[in-house]
């Protein structure tokens, strides 16, 4: 596994291409199935104002990026002055007028005109203009309007502000037939107090989800939230401590009959995480519990090796295969530090090949219970083709995406 960490991309990719290759007949079936899935998804995207809004403002446009950046940051801004500056920054440069009247939804078109007006208000001399407007109007209605819109969009992508709220929402009729893996949104722990708070939050989440084990929901945890020094330089200190903390969470989940998944993080932490995950997997008190699992990021050059490692543990492991979440920061870190090569694939096509090769390995594994997290119709169709009728697995998606 160590040899693959920063190995040459072409050298790593060659065996993956062979593993991911489809026969001509299979390829024909997969393409037909994927085309049908895409047609169904496009038909579904005409329903609901948020879907129509996101269709108009796609992430390949500067306006779409500006809106989602605003949605991600606005609700966490602590004071009105900073909120005004954020609105000015995100609305000021985009060409909202180009989208006027383009949607079939009157609500989306009205929202677009709101953005046009908002841009005019926060364009040149944004902060001063906004302050004058607020002074005249008697209330910060631009800020309030943006806040209301961001909260509405937030409901689409965040299941709930608390675990209890999220669990209640999963009981609604529109979520019938789905199970959820709940994650606690937040940054990595910076202090011991942060880590203790996150640990208690995870315990609370496990107990809340475990109050109804028949629902089939689970909890995902980030090791970086449980220790302020989760870094290679502190290996001897943090690995034993994190092993004990993860074992406590796993025992809590096992006792309540629910699953627990360890999220994947940055590449330099991979071997540390495997030592922790493996040590907990071998705990005798967890023998017979089949709810333990981990996520694997397909963009990493060591992804297939990690899957082989998980299968070799000799116990049931739930493995969630994802594309990867830290691409930008991993690339930047490698460049800034002048490292020998990248720990992950630099091209999306290579990551797609890796994902399929890993998926095939997971379907063939003896001890792995596969879960495929993907919003890609071609990937979904390929996995269905390989799995046939004889292999149990599940598909996963982020809440609010890929619907």
From CA 249, how far away is CA 225, in angstroms rounded? 13
Residue 329 backbone dihedrals phi, psi, to 5 degrees: -70, -35
Are 94 and 65 within 8 A, CB to CB? no
Instruction: Retrieve residue 117's tokens.
Output: 């007006």
| Contacts with 207 (C-beta within 8 Å, 6 or more apart), sequence order | 252, 256
pLDDT tens-digit series, residues 125-145: 444 444 444 444 434 556 676
From CA 361, how far away is CA 312, in angstroms rounded? 13
Classified as helix, coil or strand, 249 is: helix
Residue segments in the chain with a per-residue pLDDT below the cut of 50: 113, 116-139
pLDDT of residue 320: 98
Instruction: Retrieve residue 45's tokens.
Output: 């995207």
- CATH top class, domain 179-396: alpha beta
pLDDT tens-digit series, residues 3-15: 999 999 999 999 9
Query: From start to end of 269-367, where are the E strands?
Result: 292-297, 317-322
Question: What's the DSSP call for residue 213?
Answer: G
Are 391 and 363 within 8 A, CB to CB? yes
pLDDT of residue 137: 45
Are 373 and 397 within 8 A, CB to CB? yes
pLDDT tens-digit series, residues 181-194: 888 766 789 999 99
Numbered ranges of CATH 3.20.20.220 in the chain: 179-396
Q: Across-strand partners of 218?
A: 181, 259
pLDDT of residue 113: 42
Instruction: Retrieve residue 12's tokens.
Output: 């790593």
Q: What does pTM read for this prediction? A: 0.82
Residue with tokens 């961001």, as numbered in its chain:
150
């Amino acid at each position: 596994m160590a040899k693959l960490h920063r190995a040459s991309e072409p050298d790593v990719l060659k065996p993956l291409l062979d593993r991911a290759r489809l026969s001509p007949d299979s390829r024909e079936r997969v393409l037909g199935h994927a085309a049908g899935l895409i047609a169904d998804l496009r038909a579904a995207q005409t329903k609901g104002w948020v879907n129509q809004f996101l269709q108009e403002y796609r992430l390949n446009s500067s306006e779409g990026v500006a809106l989602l950046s605003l949605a991600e940051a606005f609700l966490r801004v602590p004071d009105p002055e900073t909120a005004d500056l954020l609105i000015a920054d995100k609305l000021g440069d985009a060409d909202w007028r180009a989208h006027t009247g383009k949607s079939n939804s009157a609500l989306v078109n009205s929202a677009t005109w709101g953005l046009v007006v908002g841009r005019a208000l926060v364009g040149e001399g944004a902060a001063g203009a906004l302050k004058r407007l607020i002074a005249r109007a008697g209330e910060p209605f631009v800020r309030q309007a943006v806040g209301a819109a961001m909260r509405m969009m937030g409901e689409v992508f965040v299941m709930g502000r608390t675990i209890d709220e999220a669990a209640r929402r999963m009981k609604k009729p529109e979520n019938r037939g789905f199970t959820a893996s709940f994650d606690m949104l937040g940054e990595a722990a910076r202090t011991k107090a942060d880590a203790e708070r996150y640990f208690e939050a995870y315990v609370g989440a496990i107990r809340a989800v475990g109050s109804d084990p028949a629902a089939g929901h689970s909890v995902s945890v980030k090791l970086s939230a449980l220790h302020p020094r989760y870094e290679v330089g502190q290996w001897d200190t943090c690995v034993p401590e994190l092993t004990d903390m993860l074992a406590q969470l796993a025992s809590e989940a096992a006792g309540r009959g629910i699953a627990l998944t360890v999220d994947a993080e940055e590449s330099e932490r991979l071997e540390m995480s495997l030592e922790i995950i493996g040590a907990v997997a071998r705990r005798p008190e967890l023998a017979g519990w089949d709810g333990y699992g981990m996520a694997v990021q397909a963009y990493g050059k060591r992804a297939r090796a990690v899957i082989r490692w998980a299968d070799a543990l000799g116990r049931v492991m739930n493995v969630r295969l994802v594309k990867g979440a830290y691409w930008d920061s991993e690339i930047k870190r490698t460049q800034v530090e002048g490292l020998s090569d990248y720990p992950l694939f630099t091209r999306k096509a290579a990551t797609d090949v890796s994902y399929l090769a890993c998926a095939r390995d997971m379907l063939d594994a003896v001890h792995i219970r596969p879960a495929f997290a993907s919003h890609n119709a071609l990937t979904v169709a390929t996995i269905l083709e390989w799995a046939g009728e004889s292999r149990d697995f599940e598909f996963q998606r982020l809440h609010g995406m890929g619907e």
